[in-house]
């Protein structure tokens, strides 16, 4: 059996089209245009590309976008003051402070200062807590993207055994909790897990969020598994996931490629969260 390749680019484009349609309806019914403020401190080229991509995605779905580029030497108090101002603005529904910040700035108080109802990245402890209690108003974008890919690949989640490899606060834990909310039976594996291949072989749904090049081999999975590969490992041979795609696709029902799987979903879920944050103000 060769797997269905889950096309993250297409799903991402579909979701952005759905958001664009919802924006038109929001404008027609309520005269409301969602607004996303993106704050970039410093000149990290990677971050600049991310911020420009977000600005472009906003334009595409019909959001207002507000870009703040602050110099590298910006003081903590100045950044906190900007967050406070954005919290107070009625035309700003989502606030995103691009990470990583320059070394002299502490990200924690900045993230805590963002109004949880404008925290469209979903990193505020309040939003993680909402995921824990099964009320994921603004879930973090990559984990939410994983769930969306599973749903749109028509995998049955209720009662399925989902194995998540990785327990980071940004990916592994929220993915596991979102799967639990979908009525999966969830196992979370990590670097201290004993006999990881045997645990993975039990999975109906396998999510790998580790950061180890092609770690999950063909004999780690059972026939018919749905595989979501979050890993992004840059090697001399190119970009690879945590899953050995060539081996695992021969046994999987459906599998995400790297690149072109989970990666494109993050920005789509950011657009969806910003739409939700705007709707929450009605
Ligand atoms: P992270 O914070 O480094 O967490 C990695 C997790 O993997 C940890 O929980 C760690 O266990 C576990 N782990 C490490 N080695 C292991 C092993 N040999 N066996 C089992 N588990 C092991 O990484 P992250 O931020 O969650 O990101 C994970 C991957 O996803 C990275 O490749 C990252 O680049 C990628 N990523 C992609 C996107 C996207 O948009 N596609 C977004 C975010 C992240 P311990 O807790 O025991 O240390």
**What CATH number did the domain enclosing 68 receive?**
3.40.50.10860
CA-CA distance, 103 to 254, in Å (whole number)? 41
Q: Identify whether residues 193 and 87 lie together within a single domain.
A: no
Condensed to tens digits (0 to 9), the pLDDT of residues 170-187 reads 999 999 999 999 999 999
Whether pLDDT at 115 is above 90: yes
Same domain, 162 and 80: no
How far apart, in whole angstroms, are the C-alpha atoms of residue 217 and residue 247? Answer: 6
Tokens of 42: 């410093």
Provide the annotated active-site residues: 54, 98, 121
State residue 2's pLDDT score.
83
pLDDT number for residue 1: 66
Quick one: DSSP state of residue 263? T
Q: Is the CB of 199 under 6 A from ligand 1?
A: no
Confidence of residue 9 (pLDDT cuts 50, 70, 90): very high
Residues 145 and 89 placed together within one structural domain of the fold: no
Residue 238's DSSP bridge partners are 235
Domain assignment present for 264: no
Distance CA 239, CA 192 (A): 26
Summarize pLDDT for 64-103 with one digit per residue, the tens: 999 999 999 999 999 999 999 999 999 999 999 999 999 9
CA triple 95-97-101, angle to 5 deg: 170
> What pLDDT does 128 receive?
96
Query: Are 110 and 156 within one domain?
Result: no
- What is the gyration radius of the CA atoms in the chain, in angstroms? 19
Total domain count, the chain = 2
Residue 79 falls inside a structural domain: yes
Question: Quick one: pLDDT band at residue 50, thresholds 50, 70, 90?
Answer: very high
Which residue from 50, 211, 220 has its CB within 8 A of the most atoms of ligand 1, so it is best to mutate? 211
pLDDT at site 224 = 98
Domain end point (choices 99, 115, 131): 115
- For residue 75, being part of any structural domain is answered with yes
**Do 107 and 201 sit in the same domain of this protein?**
no
Q: Does ligand 1 have an atom closer than 6 angstroms to the CB of 190?
A: yes
Distance CA 260, CA 228 (A): 12
- 136-158 pLDDT, tens digit per residue, is 999 999 999 999 999 999 999 99
3-state secondary structure of 282: coil
Q: pLDDT-based confidence at 116, cuts 50/70/90?
A: very high
C-alpha 267 – ligand 1 centre gap (Å): 19
CB-CB neighbours of 235 under 10 Å = 9
The residue with greater pLDDT, 2 or 7, is 7
User: 241-252, pLDDT tens digit by residue?
Assistant: 999 999 999 999
- Domain of 35? 31-115
| 97: nearest Cα among 277, 270, 272, 229 | 270
Does the predicted TM-score (pTM) go above 0.85? yes
Q: Which of 220, 268, 272, 271 is nearest to 247 (CA)?
A: 220
Same domain, 232 and 149: yes
CATH number of the domain within which 251 lies: 3.40.50.720
User: Does the Cβ of 131 fall within 6 Å of ligand 1?
Assistant: no
- Assess whether the C-beta atom of 165 lies below 6 angstroms from ligand 1: yes
């Amino acid at each position: 059996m060769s797997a269905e390749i889950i096309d993250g680019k297409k799903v991402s484009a579909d979701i952005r089209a759905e958001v664009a349609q919802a924006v038109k309806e929001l404008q027609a019914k309520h005269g409301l245009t969602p607004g996303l403020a993106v704050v970039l401190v410093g000149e990290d080229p990677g971050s600049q590309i991310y911020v420009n991509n977000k600005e472009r995605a906003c334009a595409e779905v019909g959001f207002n976008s507000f870009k703040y580029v602050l110099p590298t030497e910006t003081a903590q108090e100045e950044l906190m003051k900007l967050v406070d101002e954005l919290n107070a603005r009625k035309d700003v529904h989502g606030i995103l402070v691009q990470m990583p910040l320059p070394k002299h700035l502490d990200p924690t108080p900045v993230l805590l200062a963002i109004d949880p109802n404008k925290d469209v990245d979903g990193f505020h402890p309040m939003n993680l807590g909402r995921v824990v209690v099964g009320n994921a108003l603004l879930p973090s974008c990559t984990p939410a993207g994983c769930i969306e890919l599973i749903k749109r690949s028509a995998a049955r989640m209720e009662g399925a055994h989902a194995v998540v490899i990785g327990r980071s606060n940004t990916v592994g834990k929220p993915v596991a909790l979102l799967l639990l909310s979908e009525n999966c039976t969830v196992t979370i594996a990590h670097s201290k897990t004993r006999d990881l291949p045997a645990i993975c072989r039990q999975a109906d749904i396998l999510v790998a969020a580790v950061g180890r090049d092609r770690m999950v081999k063909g004999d780690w999975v059972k026939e018919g598994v749905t595989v979501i590969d979050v890993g992004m490992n840059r090697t001399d041979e190119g970009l690879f996931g945590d899953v050995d795609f060539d081996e695992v696709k021969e046994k999987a029902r459906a599998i995400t490629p790297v690149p072109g799987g989970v990666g494109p979903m993050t920005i789509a879920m950011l657009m969806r969260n910003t739409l939700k944050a705007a709707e929450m103000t009605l």
